[in-house]
Structure 1
């Protein structure tokens, strides 16, 4: 079974740059408020999704394992 990541976008932090949408339009979309949101709450772990999270200029995207352990941003 493939590892799954939970995706969250901090709506208070997101500025709607769309970089995550451009990187992975099958995972993120711009919502009615022109802020990013995940299309699904969980996705299969993959480098493209991690790259999209890392591309956010304000670090609004977070990824976690099903256990709650952070994938991105990494725990201090």
Structure 2
């Protein structure tokens, strides 16, 4: 986490931060720890998500191709 991110439009509570509202009214210590870890590993998390999505799409396409090939043989 950095100050620029906390004050950016990506952070829903940026207006509260600018108004001086203490963070303890919006987040618990556990939440803040979770958010910090999530931000530290954001790049690898997004990369893994993209690879998983790609693998799922390829799997669905493979099943569709195999099914069409199988049904095409039975009709001939």
Q: Same fold (TM over 0.5)?
A: no
Bigger strand fraction: 1
Q: What TM-score do the two structures reach when normalised by structure 2?
A: 0.20
Q: If you compute each CA radius of gyration, which structure gives the higher value, 1 or 2? A: 2
Greater length-normalized contact order (CA 8 Å, ≥ 6 residues apart): 1
